[in-house]
Amino acid sequence: MLDWGWLADHLPALAYRTGQHLYLTSIAMAVGLAISLALGTAAARRRRLYSPIGIVAGLLFTIPSLALFAALVPIVGLNLLTAEIPLVLYTLVILFRNVVAGFDAVPADVHEAADAQAVVGLARLLRVDLPLATPLIVAGIRVATVSTIGLVTITATLGDAFGGLGFFIFEGARRSFPTEIYAGALPVILLALALDRLFAWLGDRLTPWSRASTAEATSAPWREEAGAA
């Protein structure tokens, strides 16, 4: 059923597209994380900021990702920004909530203890709040990474210069060529699962006192996320 010859011929292309996929994903994640840490820190202190950002995030959800990428072409043209703006926006929906939830989860007596030891301001943020918020932030990073991996496939609508492995899914569908569809679809799923595991492991290593994998086993309701990939 699979055309192994095609696969063998296209190994360099597969490697290139995988690299492109990871490149587009990492830019979105890095920018998204930086913005949500800044916004999350602000919103954790000023509650009034939280609900407007939450509403915008909820609205973003109802827009098909396919459309959001295409919608930007008339506005910013066809370049890296066209792909990255929606990708970053979708990461924000997930990361922002988790950063705020992470900072909220820091117990008040921990703050009092920090104050009593004169650990205040930026020092308290970096040495007390951030480490304690890490499990929830890492949980957000996992979901956001996986969602971004899926969304990058859709950037293939923007043309050959984008899409990562999604390029093969689109081209394979256009040519009705199953091997090519699989060459894109399977690695995408494996990439998403692998990165999810990697960040789960990394989170456990960073915060040995609270293992994300054990937190996972307790049932928590589904939280909205930009999963529309």
Partner 1 sequence: MNVVGATVGWLSDPANWTGPNGIPTRVGEHTAICLAAMAIALAISLPAGLYTGHTRRWAGLAAGLAVIGRALPSLALIGLVLPITQALDPDRGFSLYPTLIAMVVLAIPPILVNADAGLRAVDADVVEAARGMGHGEAGLLRRVEVPLALPVLLGGIRSAAVQVIATTTLGAIFALGGLGRYIVDGIAQNDDGMLFGGVVLVGGMAMTAEGLLGLLQRVAERRAAARVP
**CB of 36 or CB of 44, closer to partner 1:** 36
Among 150, 167, 199, 203, binds partner 1 (CB under 8 A): 150
Instruction: Quote the tokens at residue 70.
Output: 């295409």
CA distances from 155 to 40, 80, 195 (A): 27, 10, 20
**CB of 96 or CB of 167, closer to partner 1:** 167
99's CB contacts (< 8 A; 6+ apart) are: 36, 37, 39, 40, 41, 44, 133, 136, 137, 140
Number of residues that bind partner 1 (CB under 8 A): 51
In angstroms, rounded to a whole number, what is the distance separating the alpha carbons of residues 46 and 192?
34
**CB of 172 or CB of 203, closer to partner 1:** 172
Q: Segment 32-91, which members bind partner 1 (CB under 8 A)?
A: 58-59, 61-67, 70-71, 74
Q: Based on the shown chain and the rule CB under 8 A, indicate whether residue 217 belongs to the binding site for partner 1.
A: yes
Q: Segment 195-214, which members bind partner 1 (CB under 8 A)?
A: 196
Q: Based on the shown chain and the rule CB under 8 A, indicate whether residue 154 belongs to the binding site for partner 1.
A: yes
Burial 8-30 (b: 16+ CB within 10 A, else e): eebeeeeeebeebbbebbebbbe
Among 30, 55, 173, 198, binds partner 1 (CB under 8 A): 173
CA 176 to chain centre: 31
**CB of 129 or CB of 170, closer to partner 1:** 170
Q: In the chain, what's the furthest Cα-to-Cα distance?
A: 69
List residues near partner 1 by CB under 8 A. 1, 58-59, 61-67, 70-71, 74, 143, 146-147, 149-151, 153-154, 157, 166, 169-170, 172-173, 176, 178, 181-182, 184-186, 188-189, 192-193, 196, 216-222, 224-225, 227-229
